[in-house]
A and B are shown apart, each in its own frame.
Chain A
Amino acid sequence: MTRILHLVDDTNPGGVTRYLDFLRRDPGMAALASHEVRAVPRNRPCVAGIEADVIVSHLAVTWRGLPGLMALRARHAGTPLIHVEHSYSEGFAAHNVRARRRFRTLLRTAYALFDRIVAVSHPQGDWLLGRGLVPAAQLSVIPPCVDLSAFAALPAPQGPVRVIGALGRFDRQKGFDLLIRAFRALPQADLRLEMIGDGPERAALEALAQGDPRIRFAGFADSPAQAMAACDALAMPSRWEPYGLVGAEARAAGRPVLVSGVDGLRDQVEDGAIAVRESTVDAWQEALATLTGPSLPPAARRAEEPATLTRLGWAALLDGFDGLTDDAGSVTTEVSAVAA
């Protein structure tokens, strides 16, 4: 059995942690390999006692972390080393990076230490290729997945959309400030905006919402599925979003979801999310007005077993390394059987 060790530096409850829970517990992933998850310091990931056939980094790439990655590569020269890029995307770079050349140098240098780089969405993969950060032969695109059963079990919302949910960390990344401005311009008194989460922007968002009793701050939700049960639709006006897990959860729950057209959210539009035309207050107001208007939104089709894509992606990736499986292709077959 192939042993895969997943290294992670962020153990906060969030998308990455839940993705790793999925990798560890999903029977299809277990058919591929055994998965161990280990939390390591970002700058010193090369901890003692690593025994694995494949090492997968879910670490955030930084200049400070670069020596640690080099040590990891040096210590495990013969072991396939994979990096999953959870953090960076075109929108991230546009909104956060001032020294772009330096940033690209960092990514090229770090990625060159790995055998494969895994993008979490096609737009992110296109960006990595287009900027020459990863050669095509080294790139795989594997959308992440989490256990969606709790979302899939939610009854579909009935009637017109009245409660819009914004679920996620209150960070400027999520663009919830834009959402509140747009929502406030809607006239209907019976609408509600549920702000579910917490984070550094909380006070600023509360100030923006002040005086509009339709906007509620529910705080951090231990169970995102339960929080989503109270919403008829979701809104993701993110400024950057390498993947955008909430969108996949909303679709699993049969909730329509409005998204900005950035990064990984473009993939979700192909899967049924509703793209807002522009990242402006006016365009979001218009989209919210349509969503909450008299005509019901198109029945959100529930995502069909999105885990299959994740399993097949990893299977194909592992097939690419010699000596991990008895005969090439067997892993894919096995996973397909589980998925079916």
Chain B
Amino acid sequence: MPQASIVVPAFNAADTLGETLRSLLAQTHPDFEIVVVDDGSTDRTVAVARGFGDARIRVVQQPNRGLAGARNSGIAAARGAFIGFCDADDLWRPTKLAAHVAHLEANPEIGLSYSGSELIDAEGRPTGLAQRPRLQGVTPAHVFRRNPVGNGSAPVFRRAALDAIAFRPEGETRRDWWFDERFRQSEDVECWLRLALTTDWDIAGIPGLLTRYRIVPGGLSAGTARQEASWEAMVTKLTPLAPAFFARHARAARAFQQRYLARRAVSSGNASEARSRMRAALATAPLALAAEPAKTLTTLTATALLSLAGPATIDALRGLARRRAA
């Protein structure tokens, strides 16, 4: 029985899966399995996974159920006491698994261990951007407002913590759900927040940018409206669980969500959307945004530059940042 499992949800990911699996097979931790969940791909995804001929890789196939459904099937198949996730276009630094296993073993009250992420582009080059979240003293309010876990390739869970949030909705006969498959977006923060609100497992991070998280231009940003809608659906779903909590934090969280979507709009060169989202953010909770002045001001500046001088300016600035990072 492997000590740890890494779940890799993969949908038509033949182009990137090989690099992802190489980064996982290179983990320094000695005892793990990789569960590739082929989520109904129509390309060579399965062939790529099988092509490694590595006994540590298991492939689970299913008709398409979406990212949450693929992660859930991966959890159901996983045998490890620790379960991490890596989407089929992201990469793990070689020491990531070892660091999280050590973190979880040393702290029996932690149920979810995460780290920061370096953002890479389609070719795998650093963009100069990173997610450097708060690592200690994480409360449900932090999870809701700022999502320190960051992305779906950052966390490694303790199996027992996942099992504490398992449920089986009407009509599901095969296995439990951990991620809510009715969400096509925001399914990750919904999962972290449900863990934070309904269990007393701690959520904590370790230093380092141990995940390399791929941002594809135009990928997610095209759907910022849908992203906003699914985030609001999450708030609607979870509010009856802890009404006082949401009454207290929803405004600030909504402002941060708008600011995040504004940054996405800047990335995809959509000036008018970025402007309206920043206006909405500032109208919703100016004090919350003022508590993080640097990030709020850079977002405002980028929005203004984009509006006045066009997307070339932003690209040029990002190019500078990349050179600095390289």
Docked-complex contact A131 and B109, CB < 8 angstroms = yes
| Residues of chain A with a CB closer than 8 A to B202's CB | 100
**A230 contacts partner chain B, Cβ-Cβ < 8 Å:** no
The closest CB in chain B to the CB of A290 belongs to B170
Q: Which of B133-160 contact A (CB under 8 A)?
A: 139, 160
What's the nearest-Cβ distance from chain B to residue A181, in Å?
A: 6
**B44 contacts partner chain A, Cβ-Cβ < 8 Å:** no
Docked-complex contact B160 and A90, CB < 8 angstroms = no
**Binary contact readout A176-204 vs B (1 if CB under 8 angstroms, 0 otherwise):** 01100100000000000000000000000
Q: Tell me whether A95 and B169 are in contact in the complex, defined as CB-CB below 8 angstroms, given that A100-B202, A132-B109, A279-B198 are known contacts.
A: no
- The stretch among A32-40, A109-117, A216-224, A280-288 that forms the contact with chain B is A280-288
| Residues of chain B with a CB closer than 8 A to A104's CB | 109
Docked-complex contact B200 and A131, CB < 8 angstroms = yes
Q: Tell me whether A278 and B167 are in contact in the complex, defined as CB-CB below 8 angstroms, given that A90-B199, A93-B200, A94-B197 are known contacts.
A: yes
The closest CB in chain A to the CB of B139 belongs to A98
| Residues of chain B with a CB closer than 8 A to A91's CB | 198
The closest CB in chain A to the CB of B238 belongs to A280
Docked-complex contact B139 and A97, CB < 8 angstroms = no
Q: Tell me whether A283 and B169 are in contact in the complex, defined as CB-CB below 8 angstroms, given that A131-B108, A177-B243 are known contacts.
A: yes
CA distance A132 to B164 in the complex (A): 17
**B50 contacts partner chain A, Cβ-Cβ < 8 Å:** no
**A160 contacts partner chain B, Cβ-Cβ < 8 Å:** no
**A301 contacts partner chain B, Cβ-Cβ < 8 Å:** no
**A75 contacts partner chain B, Cβ-Cβ < 8 Å:** no
**Binary contact readout A95-133 vs B (1 if CB under 8 angstroms, 0 otherwise):** 101101000100000000000000000000001001110
**B240 contacts partner chain A, Cβ-Cβ < 8 Å:** yes
Q: Tell me whether A286 and B240 are in contact in the complex, defined as CB-CB below 8 angstroms, given that A94-B198, A131-B109 are known contacts.
A: no
**A3 contacts partner chain B, Cβ-Cβ < 8 Å:** no
What's the nearest-Cβ distance from chain B to residue A23, in Å?
A: 30
Residue of B108, B240, B243, B244 with highest tally of chain A CB at under 10 A: B240
| Residues of chain B with a CB closer than 8 A to A93's CB | 200
| Residues of chain A with a CB closer than 8 A to B197's CB | 94-95
Q: Tell me whether A94 and B160 are in contact in the complex, defined as CB-CB below 8 angstroms, given that A277-B167, A281-B240 are known contacts.
A: no
The closest CB in chain A to the CB of B167 belongs to A278
CA distance A261 to B169 in the complex (A): 13
Docked-complex contact B241 and A97, CB < 8 angstroms = no
What's the nearest-Cβ distance from chain A to residue B236, in Å?
A: 9
The closest CB in chain B to the CB of A132 belongs to B108
Docked-complex contact B241 and A100, CB < 8 angstroms = no
What's the nearest-Cβ distance from chain B to residue A85, in Å?
A: 14
Pair count A-B, CB < 8 A: 53
**Binary contact readout A279-311 vs B (1 if CB under 8 angstroms, 0 otherwise):** 111010010000000000000000000000000
**Binary contact readout B240-252 vs A (1 if CB under 8 angstroms, 0 otherwise):** 1111100000000
Interface residues on B, range: 20 to 34
The closest CB in chain A to the CB of B239 belongs to A281
CA distance A61 to B139 in the complex (A): 23
Docked-complex contact B169 and A278, CB < 8 angstroms = yes
**A239 contacts partner chain B, Cβ-Cβ < 8 Å:** yes
Docked-complex contact A280 and B240, CB < 8 angstroms = yes
CA distance A127 to B164 in the complex (A): 11
**B168 contacts partner chain A, Cβ-Cβ < 8 Å:** yes
Residue of B170, B197, B202 with highest tally of chain A CB at under 10 A: B170
**Binary contact readout B103-131 vs A (1 if CB under 8 angstroms, 0 otherwise):** 00000110000000000000000000000
Q: Which of A120-162 contact B (CB under 8 A)?
A: 127, 130-132
Docked-complex contact A279 and B108, CB < 8 angstroms = no
| Residues of chain B with a CB closer than 8 A to A97's CB | 200
What's the nearest-Cβ distance from chain A to residue B174, in Å?
A: 15
**B237 contacts partner chain A, Cβ-Cβ < 8 Å:** yes
The one of A94, A95, A178, A277 in contact with B240, judged by C-beta atoms closer than 8 angstroms, is: A178
What's the nearest-Cβ distance from chain B to residue A174, in Å?
A: 13
Docked-complex contact B139 and A239, CB < 8 angstroms = no
**A44 contacts partner chain B, Cβ-Cβ < 8 Å:** no
CA distance A190 to B28 in the complex (A): 65
Binding site for A on B (CB under 8 A): 108-109, 139, 160, 164, 167-170, 196-200, 202, 237, 240-244
The 5 closest A-B CB pairs, nearest first, are: A93-B200, A178-B240, A94-B200, A278-B167, A90-B200
Binding site for B on A (CB under 8 A): 90-91, 93-95, 97-98, 100, 104, 127, 130-132, 172, 177-178, 181, 239, 261-262, 277-281, 283, 286
